[in-house]
């Protein structure tokens, strides 16, 4: 059956494309259904105020999802993205408020710190051989603790006015933060589709042993993936800094669930070797849509966590189904 | 016949008038007001009744108590945004973060939606119309003074404080230090134990403290709800009446502790009054009939120049039965004088 489907793919490229992107099409269809449902039952859902708010939350959710997606590519994970995000935000806030640094330098420093903390995670994982789960679980607490000690949990709230002004800016009913998120997505597509580095990261995730024997520097790929993850976590944190107009020590502590939901829903494999940038964007859109819709329908407050947990569970089961399906397909091809 | 009609009319007219007046009251305003705490917390429970009473008493179309699922700023702002989408046009907010809430508040203002900070203030510069809450600095200061008095003016005390991210916690720490400083060394502050305003954390930290240093401590000042309750319970379990405790708020466990001598006193706040008066004023602001006066007798605090004290008093064995009436009287006074004191109305 798998073989015949493959033969059919060869005969009909459109069918092949549809089959390859069936997950994305299914996800897009689910999103459309939710939008129809929410628009019908809660007209306020498509008000310009809500669409703007939704686009701003979505932009941050997408980048948070990317941050986890790049380490899932290696078959690893990064539980420290929230801690890295808040460290970067607090550094940028401190530089602007206490030392009077201009905004671009503070942002660059925040991004640099994110990449550095990601590098430390990757380095520790490669050097120690300990699972990424343990290393990043420990570093999440380590980074957060260090930040709290250094900042004394004091919020930096007298930042240049352009910070909050940018967060409030509207292009129609879309936040410019959304453009940043999509630009980051485009850069990631280029990385994973068209560069040797991207292919090395995916190869390391697909089968580390085979990649190593083929000359792929697996250790380097893992470190780079974690650096990238740290950089993206910092980017998400800084986007939140624009959104809130202040650097607060409470940022990032609720990122973990959406960070996994977006890429896993979008088709990125937990076992590594395959990522989907567009899928992650759609996954984030689904999560943000449900969150916003439930809130607008006034059933969101306490049910939201339950729904998100259920969705993650379904996404993981879907991921498992995909893995089994892919395995059967590959066995079929070999046969 | 005429006489009978006159009699019927005499009885019916007041009834019709009353019904019409009632309807008029019920539809006095089309405003939809939401009272939103920072997250789930027993302190805010009286806001629900305050919302219902304000809706009825002032004839507001809707006054609803909406709680974010968790104590996180982004959940609070998302809830506010979703309520705007549902047509709510005025908000009484306990800021999930004193600064972080300002962007949302500014967006509300740019959509002509008034907001007020209730129970906790947002940091100036802010677009909230005013902040109505307990003068937390004064409350913690008075509470610590009362504790020191109950200890006979000397000894060692520990401060059990709330969440570090709560805008009020730092103010309370400063107030406790000030009251201790005024004793010229007769009383010393052993430590501030923060982040105790959650059941598990409070249980662990307070019981560990009492287990390890019970004999070295003479007094506890709790400036958050949950550590007040946990400390009152722990002292009762230990059977310890030597260590003096002054808590905050009027949970039954704390009040029973006062009655039985395990708690020296507790600082009453006025959450009901904050919700009730807050809804009343937001209705006036949202209707466009009133604006906030710049030259009103505002109290200036480190957070805001537009603060109004919702009232605080020490509950001790002497006023245990009467404090409820005192708070109601206080709420009535704030509400009845608010318009003249703080608003300019058409």
- Once rounded to an integer, what is the mean pLDDT over residues A306-330? 74
Mean pLDDT of chain B: 88
pLDDT, position B2: 41
Burial of A220 by CB count in 10 Å (0-12 exposed, 13-18 middle, 19+ buried)? middle
Contact B69/A245, CB-based, under 8 Å? no
Domain with CATH 3.40.50.2300 in chain B: 7-134+271-312+321-345, 136-268
Please tell me the pTM assigned to this model.
Answer: 0.75
Q: Which residue has the higher pLDDT, A318 or A146?
A: A146
Query: Cis omega before residue B125 (within 30°)?
Result: yes
Write the CB contacts of A198 (distance below 8 Å, at least 6 apart in sequence).
A190, A191, A192
Q: Which of A54, A301, A304 is the best residue to mutate to test the B interface, defined by the most B CB atoms within 10 Å of its own CB?
A: A301
pLDDT, position A323: 66
| Chain B neighbors of A295, CB-CB under 8 A | 78-79, 81-82
DSSP conformational letter for B129: S
Is B198 at the interface with chain A, CB within 8 A? Answer: no
CB burial of B150-163 (b: ≥16 within 10 Å; e: otherwise) equals bbeeebbbbbbbbb
Three-state SS at B156? strand
Q: Is the pLDDT of residue A334 over 50?
A: no
Contact A45/B98, CB-based, under 8 Å? no
| Helix or strand run (H / E) with residue A193 | helix A176-194
Which of B73, B84, B100 is opposite residue A49, by nearest beta carbon? B84
Contact B99/A302, CB-based, under 8 Å? no
Q: Is the pLDDT of residue A9 over 80?
A: no
| Chain B neighbors of A168, CB-CB under 8 A | 103, 106-107
pLDDT, position B8: 45
Write the CB contacts of B58 (distance below 8 Å, at least 6 apart in sequence).
B28, B29, B279, B280, B283
Q: How confident is the model at residue A293 (pLDDT cuts 50, 70, 90)?
A: confident
Residue A136 CA to residue B161 CA, distance in Å, equals: 31
Mean pLDDT of chain A: 87
Contact B69/A42, CB-based, under 8 Å? no
**Edge-to-edge, what's the strand order for the sheet holding B115-118?**
B60-65, B29-36, B90-93, B115-118, B131-133, B307-309
> Percentage of chain A with pLDDT > 90?
51
CB burial of B216-236 (b: ≥16 within 10 Å; e: otherwise) equals ebbbbbbbbbbbbbbbbbbbb
| Chain B neighbors of A287, CB-CB under 8 A | none
Contact B85/A298, CB-based, under 8 Å? no
Q: Which of A236, A246, A298, A308 is the best residue to mutate to test the B interface, defined by the most B CB atoms within 10 Å of its own CB?
A: A246
Tell me: the pLDDT tens digits for B138-161? 899 999 999 999 999 999 999 999
3-state secondary structure A89-155: HHHHHHHHHCCCCCHHHHHHHHHHHHHHHHHHHHHHHHHHCCCHHHHHHHHHHHHHHHHHHHHCCCC
> Would you say B130 and B117 are in contact if contact means Cβ atoms under 8 Å apart?
yes
Strand-pair category, B313-315 with B265-268: antiparallel
Helix axis angle for A277-296 and A300-334, nearest 10°, is 150
Q: In this structure, which topology does domain B7-134+271-312+321-345 adopt according to CATH?
A: Rossmann fold (3.40.50)
**Edge-to-edge, what's the strand order for the sheet holding B265-268?**
B187-193, B155-160, B219-222, B244-248, B265-268, B313-315
Contact A295/B82, CB-based, under 8 Å? yes
Three-state SS at B267? strand
Q: Is the pLDDT of residue A310 over 80?
A: yes
Which of A168, A254, A296 is opposite residue B106, by nearest beta carbon? A168
| Chain B neighbors of A246, CB-CB under 8 A | 97, 99-100, 102
- Once rounded to an integer, what is the mean pLDDT over residues B168-173? 86
Helices H, strands E: what count in chain B? Answer: 11, 14
> Would you say B20 and B28 are in contact if contact means Cβ atoms under 8 Å apart?
no
| Helix or strand run (H / E) with residue B118 | strand B115-118
Which CATH number is B136-268's, of 3.40.630.30, 3.30.1480.10, 1.10.10.10, 3.40.50.2300? 3.40.50.2300
pLDDT, position A20: 61
Looking at chain A, which residue has its C-alpha nearest residue B107?
A168
Residues 69-128 in B contacting A (C-alpha not used; CB under 8 Å): 69-70, 72-75, 78-79, 81-82, 84-87, 97-100, 102-103, 106-107, 111, 123
Burial of B130 by CB count in 10 Å (0-12 exposed, 13-18 middle, 19+ buried)? buried
How many C-beta neighbours within 10 Å does residue A49 have? 17
> Would you say A299 and B66 are in contact if contact means Cβ atoms under 8 Å apart?
no
Complete domains list, chain A, with CATH: 48-334 (1.10.3470)
Contact B85/A168, CB-based, under 8 Å? no
pLDDT, position B327: 86
Q: How confident is the model at residue A300 (pLDDT cuts 50, 70, 90)?
A: low
- Once rounded to an integer, what is the mean pLDDT over residues B258-275? 94
Q: Is the pLDDT of residue A2 over 60?
A: no
Q: Which residue numbers of A have CB closer than 8 Å to B's CBs?
A: 42, 44-45, 47, 49-50, 53, 57, 153, 155, 157, 164, 167-168, 240, 243-246, 248-250, 253-254, 291-292, 295-296, 298, 300-302, 304-305
| Chain A neighbors of B103, CB-CB under 8 A | 164, 167-168, 243-245
Tell me: the pLDDT tens digits for B54-81? 999 999 999 999 998 888 888 899 899 9
- Once rounded to an integer, what is the mean pLDDT over residues B292-308? 90
**What are A60's two structure tokens?**
């941050």
């Amino acid at each position: 059956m798998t073989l015949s489907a493959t033969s059919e793919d060869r005969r009909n490229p459109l069918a092949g494309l549809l089959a390859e992107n069936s997950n994305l099409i299914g996800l897009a269809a689910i999103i459309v259904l939710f939008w129809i449902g929410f628009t019908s039952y809660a007209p306020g859902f498509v008000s310009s105020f809500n669409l703007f708010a939704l686009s701003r939350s979505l932009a941050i959710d997408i980048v948070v999802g990317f941050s986890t997606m790049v380490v899932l590519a290696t078959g690893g994970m990064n539980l420290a993205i929230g801690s890295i995000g808040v460290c970067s935000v607090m550094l940028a806030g401190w530089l602007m408020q206490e030392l009077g640094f201009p905004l671009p330098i503070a942002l660059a420093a925040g991004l640099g710190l994110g990449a550095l903390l990601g590098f430390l995670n990757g380095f520790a994982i490669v050097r120690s051989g300990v699972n990424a789960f343990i290393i990043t679980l420990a570093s999440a607490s380590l980074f957060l603790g260090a930040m709290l000690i250094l900042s004394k949990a004091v919020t930096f709230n007298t930042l240049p006015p352009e910070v909050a002004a940018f967060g409030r800016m509207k292009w129609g009913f879309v936040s410019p933060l959304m453009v940043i998120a999509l630009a980051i997505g485009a850069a990631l597509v280029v990385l994973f589709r068209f560069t040797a580095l991207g292919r090395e990261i995916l190869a390391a995730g697909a089968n580390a042993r085979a990649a190593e024997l083929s000359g792929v520097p697996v250790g380097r790929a893992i470190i780079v993936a974690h650096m990238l993850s740290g950089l993206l976590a910092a980017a998400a944190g800084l986007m939140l800094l624009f959104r809130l107009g202040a650097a607060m020590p409470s940022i990032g502590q609720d990122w973990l669930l959406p960070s996994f939901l977006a890429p896993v829903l979008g088709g990125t494999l937990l076992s590594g070797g395959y990522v989907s940038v567009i899928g992650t964007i759609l996954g984030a859109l689904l999560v943000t849509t449900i969150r916003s819709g439930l809130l607008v329908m006034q059933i969101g407050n306490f049910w939201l966590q339950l729904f998100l947990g259920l969705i993650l569970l379904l996404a993981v089961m879907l991921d498992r189904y995909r893995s089994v399906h892919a395995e059967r397909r590959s066995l079929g091809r070999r046969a | 016949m005429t006489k009978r009609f006159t009699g019927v009319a005499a009885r019916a007219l007041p009834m019709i008038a009353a019904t019409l007046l009632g309807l008029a009251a019920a539809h006095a305003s089309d405003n939809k007001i939401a009272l939103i705490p920072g997250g789930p917390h027993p302190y805010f429970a009286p806001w629900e009744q305050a919302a219902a009473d304000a809706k009825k008493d002032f004839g507001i179309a809707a006054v609803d108590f909406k709680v974010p699922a968790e104590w996180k700023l982004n959940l609070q702002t998302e809830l506010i945004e979703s309520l705007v989408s549902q047509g709510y046009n005025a908000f009484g907010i306990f800021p999930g973060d004193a600064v972080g809430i300002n962007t949302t508040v500014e967006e509300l203002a740019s959509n002509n939606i008034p907001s007020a900070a209730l129970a906790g203030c947002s940091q100036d510069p802010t677009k909230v119309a005013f902040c109505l809450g307990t003068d937390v600095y004064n409350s913690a200061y008075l509470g610590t003074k009362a504790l020191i008095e109950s200890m006979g003016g000397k000894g060692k005390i520990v401060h059990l404080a709330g969440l570090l991210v709560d805008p009020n916690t730092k103010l309370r720490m400063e107030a406790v230090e000030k009251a201790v400083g005024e004793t010229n060394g007769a009383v010393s502050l052993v430590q501030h134990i923060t982040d105790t305003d959650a059941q598990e954390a409070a249980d662990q930290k307070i019981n560990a403290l009492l287990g390890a240093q019970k004999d070295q401590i003479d007094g506890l000042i709790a400036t958050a709800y949950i550590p007040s309750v946990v400390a009152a319970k722990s002292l009762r379990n230990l059977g310890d009446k030597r260590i003096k405790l002054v808590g905050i708020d009027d949970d039954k466990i704390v009040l029973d502790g006062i009655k039985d001598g395990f708690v020296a006193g507790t600082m009453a706040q006025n959450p009901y009054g904050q919700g009730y008066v807050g809804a009343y004023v937001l209705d006036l602001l949202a209707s466009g009939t009133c604006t906030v006066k710049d030259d009103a007798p505002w109290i200036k605090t480190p957070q805001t120049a537009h603060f109004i004290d919702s009232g605080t008093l020490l509950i001790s064995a002497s006023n245990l039965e009467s404090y409820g009436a005192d708070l109601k009287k206080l709420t009535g006074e704030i509400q009845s004088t608010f318009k003249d004191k703080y608003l300019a109305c058409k």
